[in-house]
């Protein structure tokens, strides 16, 4: 039996899960999304992801045709239908079918899509050896133009940065903001550690407020490690003792080299690994349980 996709209230076969070429999600990137994970029949931080989705939608004045509870139930149903214990879940809400003009008033009904599939993990060597990353020329979207807190279907900003990293032979890119301060990576938030304190750029730098970022900040504080949301330049990155990235897909990936400068010892750092361990533990129970 093939994968079943939730599409506007129905669970349909993958091959039948199609949307219109007039959907403004396709024509204009007009929509919002979430990336969520489940671990051993628990959807990690489901409520937080649903809240962020609804805030993104509210900000772009897109009314999701389901309540938050109904949306959570739809996610669980999709997981159950596909018999997935461990999954990567993509929630998408588009403006819906309109005409060729921008005018969202032509889009009468938003589309809701839920894809739950097997999780594709990053290669183990990323975690063991750490990543080498670079800063790219493309800066993060100006918050005044398109606030990075909106997880919109318009991800070209990040896609361009990713292309620049890949062209240079790297897996991930550091994006600065328009003032030259460190913002985040293309699909992950960035942290450094210096003299035992964990630092990450504040929301005002123009970042997506990552759910993994929040979890890591909480875990660090519980472990009595000091955490500061602070403006960072590349100088602070280069001279950090440790660095790591956080994201739903990546969890916590150590970084060992930035723009050719070795970070700390050049191997994943002790505090990063301690946080990764604590994170793994948190994923065991911190979410919404489901059964088959
Ligand atoms: N920053 C940006 C710009 C993101 O898109 C994160 C940080 C991490 O947020 P969470 O809430 O996941 O801790 C993201 C995550 C992927 C992928 O396949 C990830 C994201 C979007 C699209 C793909 O890794 N968003």
The answer to whether 4-117 and 124-282 have equal CATH topology is no
Q: Which atom of ligand 1 is nearest to the CA of 248?
A: 12
Per-residue CA distances from 33 to 203, 207, 269 (Å): 19, 16, 33
Does residue 213's CB lie within 6 angstroms of at least one atom of ligand 1? Answer: yes
Does residue 188's CB lie within 6 angstroms of at least one atom of ligand 1? Answer: yes
Handedness of CA 93, 96, 100, 102 (dihedral sign): negative
Does residue 242's CB lie within 6 angstroms of at least one atom of ligand 1? Answer: no
In the chain, where the domains are located: 4-117, 124-282
Q: Which residues pair with 42 in a beta bridge?
A: 39, 289
pLDDT at position 211 is: 98
Does residue 96's CB lie within 6 angstroms of at least one atom of ligand 1? Answer: no
In 3D, which of 19, 24, 31 has the Cα closest to residue 107?
24
For 72-92, b/e burial (b = at least 16 CB within 10 A) is bebbbbbbbbbebeebbbebb
pLDDT at position 285 is: 82
Helical ranges in 22-155 per DSSP H: 24-28, 46-59, 68-81, 124-129
Report the CATH architecture of 124-282. Answer: Alpha-Beta Barrel (3.20)
Does residue 141's CB lie within 6 angstroms of at least one atom of ligand 1? Answer: no
In 3D, which of 205, 167, 202, 209 has the Cα closest to residue 188?
209
Residue whose CA is at the smallest distance from ligand 1 atom 20: 187
- CA–CA gap between residue 186 and residue 159 (Å, rounded): 7
pLDDT at position 121 is: 87
Query: What are the E-state strand segments in the chain?
Result: 4-7, 10-13, 31-39, 42-44, 87-94, 111-117, 131-135, 173-176, 182-185, 189-194, 197-200, 227-229, 242-247, 251-258, 261-262, 287-289
Query: Which residue ranges in the chain fall short of pLDDT 50?
Result: none
CATH topology of domain 4-117: D-amino Acid Aminotransferase; Chain A, domain 1 (3.30.470)
pLDDT tens column, 140-165 = 999 999 999 999 999 999 999 999 99
Pocket test for ligand 1, best of 37, 140, 210 (most atoms within 8 A of CB): 210
Residue whose CA is at the smallest distance from ligand 1 atom 10: 210
Residue whose CA is at the smallest distance from ligand 1 atom 17: 187
Q: Which atom of ligand 1 is nearest to the CA of 148?
A: 3
Say how many Å lie between the CA of residue 99 and the centre of ligand 1: 30
pTM of the entire structure?
0.97
pLDDT at position 97 is: 98
Would you please indicate which residues are annotated as catalytic (active-site) residues?
151
């Amino acid at each position: 039996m093939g994968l079943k996709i939730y599409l506007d209230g129905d669970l349909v076969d993958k091959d039948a899960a199609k949307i219109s070429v007039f959907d403004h999600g396709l024509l204009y990137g007009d929509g919002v999304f979430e990336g969520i994970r489940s671990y051993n029949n628990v959807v990690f931080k489901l409520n937080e992801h649903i809240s962020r989705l609804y805030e993104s939608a509210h900000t772009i004045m897109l009314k999701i045709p389901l309540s938050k509870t109904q949306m959570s139930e739809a996610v669980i149903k999709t997981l159950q239908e596909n018999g997935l214990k461990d999954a990567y879940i993509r929630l998408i809400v588009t403006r819906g079918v309109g005409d060729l003009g921008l005018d969202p008033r032509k889009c009468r009904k938003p589309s809701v899509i839920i894809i739950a599939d097997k999780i594709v993990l990053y290669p183990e060597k990323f975690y063991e050896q750490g990543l080498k990353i670079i800063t790219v020329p493309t800066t993060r979207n100006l918050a005044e133009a398109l606030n990075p807190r909106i997880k919109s279907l318009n991800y070209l900003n990040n896609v361009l940065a990713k292309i620049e990293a890949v062209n240079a032979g790297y897996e991930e890119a550091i994006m600065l903001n328009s003032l030259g301060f460190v913002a985040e990576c293309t699909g992950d938030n960035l942290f450094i550690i210096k003299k035992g304190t964990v630092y990450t750029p504040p929301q005002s730098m123009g970042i997506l407020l990552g759910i993994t970022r929040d979890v890591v900040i909480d875990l660090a504080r519980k472990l009595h490690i000091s955490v500061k949301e602070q403006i960072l330049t590349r100088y602070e990155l280069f001279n950090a003792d440790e660095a790591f990235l956080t994201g739903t897909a990546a969890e916590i990936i150590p970084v060992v080299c930035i723009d050719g400068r070795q970070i700390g010892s050049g191997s994943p750092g002790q505090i990063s690994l301690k946080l990764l361990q604590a994170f793994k533990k948190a994923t065991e129970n911190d979410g919404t349980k489901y059964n088959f």
